[in-house]
Amino acid sequence: MNRNVIWKVVLILAVLVVFIVAIIPTANNPEPIKLGLDLKGGTHLVMRVNVGDAVRLETDQAAETLKTQSQKINLPALVTRRVNDFSFMATAPAGVTTADYEKVAKDFLGAWDMSRTPEGAMLFKMKTASITAIERDTIEHAVETIRNRVDALGVTEPIIAPESGNRIVIQLPGIDDPARVKDIIKTTAVLQFRLVEGSPGPDQAGVLASVPENMKSEVEVLPGTREDELGRPVGVEYYAIRKNVPVTGTDLKNARVQKGQLGQPNVGMSFTPDGARKFGALTGANVGRRLAIVLDNKVMSAPNIKSKIEDQGVIEGNFTQQQASDLSLVLRSGSLPASLTTLEERTVGPSLGRDSIRQGIMASAIGFFALIAAVLLYYHGAGINAVLALLLNLVILLGMMAYFKATLTLPGIAGIILTLGMAIDSNVLVFERIREELRENKTVRAAIEQGFARAFGTIIDTHMTTIISALFLFQFGTGPIKGFAVTLLIGLFASVFTAFFVSRVIFDVVYKPEARPSTISI
C-alpha cells in the first residue's frame, strides 16, 4: 500500500481512538456527555435584579448623611424628601441660608450633583457614573449571593451568569423541589436588629400612638406575628421599630438550626468579632427594652433584653424544621442587595426528562438503522463505505461534544440523527458523480478521482449554507435550541471530514491505484 495512504489510515484510526476514549464513561467522569435540563430535569430561571432598590437605598443613606453631618456642626435640621430612586430634595428651615449645607454636601456627597429648585430647596441627583457603578456592584453581589445559596443547596454544576438588562440566568440541573429552591434564591434575607418603641398591638394607628411624641419621626411600624399563650400564630401584631439599624445580617459569622426549650426548631446565630462588639454595645445599653429581629421588613420576634449579649443570638418564629434550615442557609449566604423578579422559568421534572431520553434515543436508533439499510440497498459495496463514514461521523460528533463539554438536549438528539441524515448527502454527491463518470466509460480509479474532485465545491457550498443557518440558530436560541445548533455545527464539520477524507481513504484502500481495479461496487 502507498505510504501516503497508510499515514491517512493511521490518522483516521487515531481520531477514532481519541474520540472513543472521550465518550467512554469513567469513574472520574461518569457522564462524559453533559445532559441538558430538558433531559436531566432541572430549572432554568431568568431573574431581573431590581437594581433600583440598591440605588434607592444609597439615596436614602446620602440624605441621612447630609442630615447628620450638618447636625454635627450645629446647623438647623434639614427636611429631606426622596424625589425618585436617584435624587432627593433637602429643604432648610425658613430664613436659613443654604451655603453651609452646600459645604457639607461638597465634603460628604462627592458622587452627587446639586441644583436648586425655584423654591430655594437643594436638589441632589446622583451622578450617572455612580448609578452605573452601584448597578454593576449590585448585580455582582446578587450573583455572588445566589451562588452561595445554590452551592449550599448542593446543586451540582449550576450556571449562574449575569446577562444584559440587569438579568441573571440561573440553571439548576437535577433539582427535585423547584418551589423551595426558588424561594431560597429569591429571599432577600436582610436581617436587622432594631429597638422597639412604644407597645406592640394589633392595629397600626394604636401602635404609633403609644410612641412618645419626640420619637414619632424616628420609628416605622412593621408587621409581625401574633401568638397565643402556647406560641401558636393567631394573627398580625404590629411593632413600632426604630429606623436606626445598629446591627445587621452582615455582622453574622454563622447561622444554624438548633432546638429550642420545647424541642421546636429555631436559628442560632454567632457574630463576627466586630458584630459581637456592636451587638454587645446595643444590648448592654438597652437592658430591659425589647429588641426586634427584623427579616425582610417583617418582625420575626421581639424578645426582652435580659442582659448584655455579645457572642450569639437566637431567631425564633414558629419555624418548621425545613423553614429553620432554609433561613439559616440564606443567613449564612448573605443577603441580596436588591429584590429579584422572575422573568422566565422553565422547569422539567425528572420523569419527563427520562421519557424524553428514552424516546429520543429510540427514534434516533430507528432512524439510523433505516438510513443504513437504505444506503446499503442503494450503493452495495460503496454503501458499506458510506456507513463506515457515518459511524465515524457519529463517534466524532459525540466525542467532540464530550471534549468541548457541550450539552446534549432533546432537540440536540434530533440534531444528531438529522446531521447523519444530512451527512449522507456528501456521500451521495460523490457516489452519484462516480456513477456518472463510470457511465462515461472512465476507469474505476479515474471515476473515483473525478467523483471526489467534482463533488468537492458542491459539498462545501451545501455545508456552508447549513452552517450559516446553524449560526443564526445558535444566536437566536435559548438552552435546548442552542444545544441543537451546537450539535448541528459539530456534525457538519465532522461530515466534511468523514465524507471527503475518510470515505476517500476507504476507496483508496479497497481499490488500490496500483492494482488498476476494473470493477467497483457502487
Partner 1 sequence: MQIFVNTKYDFVKWRFSAVVFSLVWVLIGAAFFLKNGINWGIDFAGGANIVLKFKDKVPMDKLRADLADASIQQYGKPEENSVLIRLPQLGREGDYAGATVAKLNKDLNPESADPNKIDLNYHGRDRLFDLLFTADPDAKGTNEASKKYYTDLATSIISKRSELGLFTNISQVSSVAGVTSADSRVLNQRVFLGSFNVLNQETVGPQVGRELQMKAVWAVILSTLAMGLYLWLRFDLMFGVAAIVCIVHDVLVSLAFLGILRGEFSLNIVAALLLIVGYSINDTVVTYDRVRENRKKLKQRMSLEEQLNLGMNQTLSRTILTSGSVVIVLVALILFGGKVIHEFAWILLIGVIAGTYSTVTIVPAVAIAWNNLTGRTHDISGPARSARIEEPRNEAPARKRKAV
- Rounded to the nearest 10 degrees, the angle between the axes of helix 3-23 and helix 350-403 is 150
Query: Is the dihedral angle over the CA atoms 390, 392, 393, 394 positive or is it negative?
Result: positive
With beta carbons less than 8 A apart as the criterion, state whether 480 and 407 touch.
Answer: no
Q: Apex CA 190: angle with CA 312 and CA 293, to 5°?
A: 45
CB of 292 to partner 1, least distance (A): 24
The residue (of 178 and 206) whose beta carbon lies closer to partner 1 is 178
Smallest gap from Cβ 157 to partner 1, in A, equals 17
Nearest to 345 by CA among 158, 154, 170: 170
CB of 468 to partner 1, least distance (A): 5
H/E segment holding residue 161: strand 159-163
Half-sphere CA count of 371, side-chain side, radius 13 A: 23
For 44, the grid coordinates are 432554568
CB of 497 to partner 1, least distance (A): 18
Q: Which is nearer to partner 1, 218 or 425 (CB)?
A: 425
Query: Smallest distance, Å, CB 522 to partner 1?
Result: 6
Comparison of 65 and 325: residue with beta carbon closer to partner 1: 325
Chain centroid offset of residue 519 CA? 60
* In contact, 299 and 194? CB cutoff 8 Å: no
Distance CA 80, CA 78 (A): 6
User: Smallest gap, in angstroms, from Cβ of residue 483 to partner 1?
Assistant: 11
Q: Which is nearer to partner 1, 201 or 381 (CB)?
A: 381
Mode of pairing for the β-strands spanning 87-91 and 122-126: antiparallel
The Cα–Cα gap between 492 and 470 comes to 10
| Residue indicated by cell numbers 449560526 | 471
Based on CB atoms, which residue is closest to partner 1, 337 or 411? 411
Of residues 149, 155, 145, the one with CA closest to residue 326:
149
Task: CB nearer to partner 1: give 200 or 480.
Answer: 480
Planar angle of CA 85, 80, 338, nearest 5 degrees: 30
Query: If we measure between CA atoms, which residue out of 419, 427, 449 comes closest to residue 383?
Result: 427
Element (H or E) spanning 498, and its range? none
**Closest distance between partner 1 and the C-beta of residue 391, in Å?**
15
Q: Return the number of the residue (303 or 350) whose C-beta is nearest partner 1.
A: 350
φ, ψ dihedrals at 161, nearest 5°: -135, 135
Q: Shortest gap between Cβ of 245 and partner 1 (angstroms)?
A: 29
Closest among 191, 184, 168, 188 to 49, alpha carbons compared: 168
The HSE-up count of residue 198 (CA atoms within 13 Å, CB side) is 25
In the complex, least distance from residue 137 CB atom to partner 1, rounded to whole angstroms: 23
Query: In angstroms, what is the minimal distance from the CB of 467 to partner 1?
Result: 8
Name the residue nearer to partner 1 (CB basis): 272 or 325: 325
Q: Which is nearer to partner 1, 17 or 468 (CB)?
A: 468
Residue 10 or 370: the one with the smaller Cβ distance to partner 1 is: 370
